[in-house]
């Protein structure tokens, strides 16, 4: 199981997650497609 942890400044965490989690969902899809990553976490 591959997990990616992305570090984002606290002031930009909302932008990274996106409205209704749209950006993080897109990041998870791309990570799965190109790098066979199971999960992406924003810290």
What CATH number does the domain containing 30 carry?
Answer: 3.30.300.20
What's the CA gap between 5 and 1, in Å, rounded?
A: 13
Segment 6-35 mean pLDDT: 96
In the 3-class helix/strand/coil scheme, how is 1-43 assigned residue by residue? CCEEEECCCHHHHHHHHCHHHHHHHHHHHHHHHHHCCCEEEEC
Average pLDDT over residues 16-32: 96
Q: Measure the CA–CA gap between 2 and 41, rounded to whole angstroms.
A: 11
Domain range for residue 21? 3-42
Number of domains in the chain: 1
Work out the pLDDT band at 40, boundaries 50, 70, 90: very high
What number is the average pLDDT over the span 16-29?
Answer: 96
Q: How far is CA 33 from the centre of its chain?
A: 13
Q: What percent of the chain has pLDDT over 70?
A: 100
What mean pLDDT comes out for the span 4-27? 96
């Amino acid at each position: 199981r591959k997990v990616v942890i992305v570090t984002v400044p606290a002031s930009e965490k909302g932008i990274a997650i996106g409205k209704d989690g749209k950006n993080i969902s897109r990041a998870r899809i791309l990570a799965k497609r190109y790098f066979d990553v199971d999960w992406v976490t924003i810290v």
